[in-house]
């Protein structure tokens, strides 16, 4: 499963970067490039909750097991295409 993290530069405004990132990512219409096989139809972005994460959001797809999760751990953006992978990445950054 694809996943990555990016850290904001010191002094960057996390709130404004977070809002801009949310707008860009969630307005996308094609996420198929994130997966090895077709994920199916994207459903609706929803709020998630993982301890220590702000702005946790996720998107499920019609084919079971396909999802995109993202959120902020301090000034680090974590994006993973597996919920369990997302939780593990968050744990490592806390």
Q: pLDDT tens across 5-54, in order?
A: 999 999 999 999 999 999 999 999 999 889 999 999 999 999 999 988 98
State residue 52's pLDDT score: 86
- The pTM of this model reads 0.91
State residue 67's pLDDT score: 95
State residue 94's pLDDT score: 86
Note every long-range contact of 4-12, with CB atoms under 8 Å and residues 24 or more positions apart, other chains counting: 4/78, 4/79, 4/80, 5/76, 5/77, 5/78, 5/79, 5/89, 5/93, 6/76, 6/77, 7/75, 7/76, 7/77, 8/75, 8/76, 8/77, 12/75
């Amino acid at each position: 499963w694809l996943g990555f993290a990016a850290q904001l530069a010191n002094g960057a405004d996390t709130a404004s970067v977070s809002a801009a990132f949310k707008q860009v990512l969630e307005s996308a219409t094609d996420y198929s490039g994130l997966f090895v096989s077709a994920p199916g139809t994207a459903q609706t972005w929803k709020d998630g909750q993982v301890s220590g994460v702000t702005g946790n959001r996720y998107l499920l797809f019609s084919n079971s097991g396909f999802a995109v999760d993202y959120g902020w751990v301090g000034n680090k953006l974590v994006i993973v295409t597996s919920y369990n992978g997302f939780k593990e990445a968050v744990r490592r950054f806390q």
